[in-house]
């Protein structure tokens, strides 16, 4: 029997935490709250607008690096991102390894007018209704964390609530599974969540094989404009940036620099 991976360990904790929340707030109650929430924003339109879209992340910690930043006010950080030109704000809500919370999601949703992504390890339908109840317009589905029937079911449920799924892959086989499930937005994570090892050539290998109508998001390794331009040259429509922003010292300027580079005439444009 193979030993448990980092991803296995994270998901085990997530399942325990979801069960604990559901014991307090039932699925029926979460569904009702989701139905009462304001309608989700149009994420696809935001990501398809001209230029390379920047998805800026509220990220306190990671399994690979530990504590990254002391974010006392996630709403203030989100407003700085929005002011810098971010198209979407990503909020980590996983508690044990990333030190995120649904409270962070609530604070961010209340503070910005652009779409908000719930970034977590979604393994139960409960979490999808929970995301909508807390104002998410988009959520993350990780192919490596889900069997195919679950991936397809969770994606369908996400879209049935009007949200958009960012379907994350790390290999060509996972990209095929994402397409089979009906993904419209595919994120390529250079980090293997099973081992935490990074393969920076991952995006350049996978993106060319995706259909032209798929929105392609590069998810790891962006620390400056050079990285954004490299991903754009490989076919990225958007980049998701967390650590590089929260450790920058000036998140608004860091986002603005990326946005400016992504909008510059010399920036490679995805072939469509």
Tell the residue number behind the tokens 């369908």, with chain if given: 156
Q: Which residue intervals of the chain are DSSP H helices?
A: 6-24, 27-36, 43-48, 74-84, 102-111, 125-133, 148-160, 172-181, 202-206, 225-233, 243-246, 251-263
At residue 81 the predicted structure's pLDDT band, cuts being 50, 70 and 90, is: very high
1 assigned to some structural domain: no
Q: What is the pLDDT of residue 195?
A: 76
For residues 90 and 248, what is the distance between their CA atoms, to the nearest angstrom? 17
Interior CA angle at 123 toward 120 and 128, to 5°? 70
Q: Is 168 a catalytic residue?
A: yes
User: Where in the sequence is the domain holding 145, given as residue range(s)?
Assistant: 6-263
Predicted local distance difference test score (pLDDT) of residue 267 = 86
Candidate list 130, 168, 174, 243, residue with the active-site label:
168
- 194 is known as an active-site residue: no
Q: How many domains does the chain have?
A: 1
Catalytic choice (59, 82, 130, 243): 59
Q: What is the pTM of this model?
A: 0.94
What does the pLDDT read at residue 272?
54
Segment 136-144 mean pLDDT: 97
Q: Could you say which of 82, 94, 174, 219 is catalytic?
A: 219
Which pLDDT score, from 0 to 100, does residue 66 have? 60
61 within some domain: yes
Q: Which residues contact 117 (CB under 8 A, 6 or more apart)?
A: 43, 55, 88, 89, 90, 91, 136, 137, 138, 139, 140, 166
Residue of 94, 184, 220, 243 marked catalytic = 220
Give the pLDDT mean for 245-266.
90
**159 annotated active-site:** no
Q: What is the CATH number of the domain that holds 229?
A: 3.20.20.70
* Helix axes 74-84 and 251-263, enclosed angle (nearest 10): 30
pLDDT at 55 exceeding the cut of 70: yes
For this structure, is 243 an active site residue? no
Question: What pLDDT band is residue 146 in, cutting at 50, 70 and 90?
Answer: very high
The total of other beta-carbon atoms located within 10 Å of residue 197's CB is: 10
pLDDT at 98 over 80: yes
Q: Look up 76 and say whether it is catalytic.
A: no
pLDDT bin (cut points 50, 70, 90) of residue 1 is very low
Task: Find the catalytic residue in 119, 130, 184, 243.
Answer: 119
In a domain? residue 270: no
Q: What is the mean pLDDT of the chain?
A: 92
Rounded average pLDDT over 50-55: 96
Residue 119 annotated among the catalytic residues of the structure: yes
User: Does the annotation mark 59 as catalytic?
Assistant: yes
């Amino acid at each position: 029997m193979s030993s448990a991976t980092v991803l296995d360990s994270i998901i085990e904790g997530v399942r325990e935490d979801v069960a604990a929340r559901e014991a307090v707030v039932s699925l029926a109650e979460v569904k009702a709250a989701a139905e009462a929430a304001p309608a989700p924003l149009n994420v696809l339109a935001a990501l398809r607008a001209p230029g390379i879209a920047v998805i800026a992340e509220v990220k306190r910690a990671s399994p690979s690096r530990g504590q990254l930043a002391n974010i006392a006010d996630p709403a203030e950080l989100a407003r700085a991102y929005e002011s810098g030109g971010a198209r979407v704000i990503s909020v980590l809500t996983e508690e044990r390894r990333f030190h995120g919370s649904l409270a962070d999601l609530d604070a961010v949703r209340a503070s910005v007018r652009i779409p908000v992504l719930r970034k977590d390890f979604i393994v139960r339908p409960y979490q999808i209704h929970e995301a909508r109840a807390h104002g998410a317009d988009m959520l993350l589905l990780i192919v490596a964390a889900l069997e195919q029937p679950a991936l397809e079911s969770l994606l369908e449920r996400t879209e049935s609530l009007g949200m958009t799924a960012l379907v994350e892959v790390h290999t060509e086989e996972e990209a095929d599974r994402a397409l089979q499930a009906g993904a419209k937005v595919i994120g390529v994570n250079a980090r293997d969540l099973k081992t935490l090892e990074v393969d920076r050539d991952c995006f350049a290998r996978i993106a060319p094989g995706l259909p032209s109508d798929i929105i392609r998001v590069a998810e790891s390794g962006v620390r400056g404009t050079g990285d954004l331009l490299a991903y754009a040259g490989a076919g990225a429509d958007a980049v998701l940036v967390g650590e590089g922003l929260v450790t920058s010292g000036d998140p608004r300027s860091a986002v603005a620099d990326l946005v400016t580079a992504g909008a510059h005439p010399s920036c490679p444009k995805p072939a469509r």
